[in-house]
């Protein structure tokens, strides 16, 4: 029998064999598996934000398959306590169908509930941190199961304490606080508001928001679809750079005839700009790369895709080439969004 590889468990379909693979389908089995495993340990759920080396993983991979959702009402809000292995998008679909607002703009994101706090998943103006009311975690530093307040998770743009200290935390369950409302919260993402025919800042019916988000995402290859080769990716490969005012002014200076780089003010006074804008103006077009290996998606400059015969080495090489091109053209450092396992950056 062929040795199983982690490519079978990642959306990029990349990654060599693990030394050992354990499946955990209950919370207690998950805690026991992680406690007993020797280092190194890799937690893997949907495999949609992982880039795993061609050599595989020289330790124990714990594959999370826990299930269960408990619902209760508290202080006018609906609390959903959800096991880590529950798939994310069906949870969003259920919330929307039940008239619960808070996660509708996060429709169509692949992966698991337990991974959603790891990089504080976000899309179309919403971030999951805004609805997380609590987390149950295993802290591998002390081996204890703990209930964490959301403040302890240090949520930031595509980041959290869990992502910043890899290997320490296992998210066992997440509690979301949703509001019973027919309309979504204010829609701040211009492209989404336009698609729904509302002004930015207005709300729209939950089901319509979900459908509009799914439509926009499909157009960018950002919904996993076996019929869409552009969805064989880890989503956006680079985060949007956040620059201080001086660095943003330098970027504007270097942009010259390319026009003004997109400018999204952050609450801390810094400025977020668009990685896709920088990549496109550094000469990388959709489809760039190897049509039978690793190439930029034909629908979205930010996604690197495996066209079937790619390798992780080839993927990381293309990512480095793009980052070097952007560094040379604009002096801005791009950082990968997915978690690299067995590969170094830059
Ligand atoms: C087509 C596509 C579109 C995407 N669109 C978006 C998007 O719009 N917005 C966005 O934010 N992301 C997006 N992503 C990225 C990805 O879907 C999310 O980051 C998702 O939350 C990853 O979930 P997962 O279960 O697949 O995690 P995995 O890939 O299995 O793991 C990701 C990381 O989290 C860790 N991890 C996973 N589960 C746990 C746990 N329970 N406890 C501790 N650590 C854990 C892993 O060790 C790893 O470091 C997209 C990906 C794809 C393929």
Instruction: List pLDDT tens digits, range 187-203.
Output: 999 999 999 999 999 99
Q: Phi, psi (5° rounding) for residue 328?
A: -70, -40
Calpha distance 103→124 (Å, rounded): 11
pLDDT of residue 2: 63
The pLDDT-based confidence of 4 (bands split at 50, 70, 90) is: confident
Block residue for tokens 């990685």: 275
69 to 34, 84, 108, 120, 171: CA distances (angstroms): 22, 10, 19, 20, 15
Calpha distance 335→189 (Å, rounded): 23
List the structure tokens of 328.
């040379």
Residues with CB under 6 A from ligand 1: 11, 42-50, 64, 84, 109-112, 114-116, 118-119, 121-123, 162, 169-171, 222, 224, 231, 233-235, 339
Measured from the Cα of 339, ligand 1's closest atom is 49
Pocket test for ligand 1, best of 6, 10, 27, 49 (most atoms within 8 A of CB): 49
Q: What is the mean pLDDT of residues 84-108?
A: 98
187 to 105, 202, 311: CA distances (angstroms): 9, 6, 39
Query: 45 with 82: CB under 8 angstroms?
Result: no
Q: Ligand 1 center to residue 49 CA distance, Å?
A: 4
pLDDT of residue 38: 84
List the structure tokens of 243.
């620059």
**Could you read off the pLDDT of 29-80 as tens digits, one per residue?**
999 999 999 889 999 999 999 999 999 999 999 999 999 999 999 999 999 9
Pocket test for ligand 1, best of 48, 131, 136 (most atoms within 8 A of CB): 48
Residues belonging to the active site: 158, 236, 337
Question: Percentage of the chain surpassing pLDDT 70?
Answer: 99
- Among protein residues, the one whose CA lies closest to atom 37 of ligand 1: 115
Q: What is the mean pLDDT of residues 319-326?
A: 98
Q: What is the mean pLDDT of residues 114-120?
A: 98
- Among protein residues, the one whose CA lies closest to atom 44 of ligand 1: 170
The mean pLDDT of the chain is: 97
Q: Which residues pair with 146 in a beta bridge?
A: 137
Whether pLDDT at 1 is above 60:
no
Q: Phi, psi (5° rounding) for residue 159?
A: -160, 160
User: Among residues 90, 82, 91, 40, which one has the least CA distance to residue 64?
Assistant: 82
Q: Ligand 1 center to residue 289 CA distance, Å?
A: 25
């Amino acid at each position: 029998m062929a040795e199983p590889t982690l490519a079978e468990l990642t959306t990029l379909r990349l990654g060599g064999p693990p030394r050992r693979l354990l499946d955990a389908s209950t919370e207690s089995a998950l805690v026991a598996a992680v406690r007993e495993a020797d280092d190194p340990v890799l937690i893997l759920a949907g495999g949609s934000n992982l880039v795993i080396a061609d050599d595989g993983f020289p330790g124990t991979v714990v594959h999370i398959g826990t299930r269960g959702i408990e619902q209760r009402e508290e202080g006018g809000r609906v609390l959903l306590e959800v096991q880590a292995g529950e798939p994310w998008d069906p949870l969003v679909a259920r919330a929307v169908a039940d008239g619960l607002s808070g996660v509708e703009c996060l429709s169509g994101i692949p992966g698991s509930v337990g991974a959603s706090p790891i990089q504080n998943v976000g899309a179309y103006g919403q971030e999951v941190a805004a609805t997380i009311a609590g987390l149950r975690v295993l802290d591998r530093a002390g081996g204890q199961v703990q209930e964490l307040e959301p403040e302890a998770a240090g949520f930031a743009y595509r980041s959290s304490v869990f992502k910043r200290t890899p290997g320490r935390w296992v998210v066992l369950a997440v509690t979301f606080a949703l509001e019973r409302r027919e309309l979504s919260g204010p829609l701040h993402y211009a492209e989404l508001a336009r698609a729904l025919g509302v002004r930015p800042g207005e709300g729209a019916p939950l089901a319509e928001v979900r459908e509009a988000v799914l439509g926009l995402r499909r157009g960018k290859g950002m919904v996993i679809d076996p019929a869409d080769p552009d969805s064989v990716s880890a989503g956006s490969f680079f985060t949007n750079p956040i620059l201080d005012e001086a660095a943003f002014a330098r970027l504007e200076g270097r942009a010259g005839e390319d026009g003004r780089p997109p400018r999204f003010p952050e609450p801390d006074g810094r400025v977020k700009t668009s990685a896709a804008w920088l990549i496109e103006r550094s000469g990388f077009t959709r489809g760039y790369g190897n049509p039978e290996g690793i190439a930029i998606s034909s629908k979205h400059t930010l996604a690197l895709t495996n066209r079937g015969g790619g390798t992780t080495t080839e993927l990381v090489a293309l990512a480095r080439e793009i980052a070097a091109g952007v560094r040379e053209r604009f002096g801005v450092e791009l950082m990968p969004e997915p978690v690299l396992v067995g590969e170094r950056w830059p």
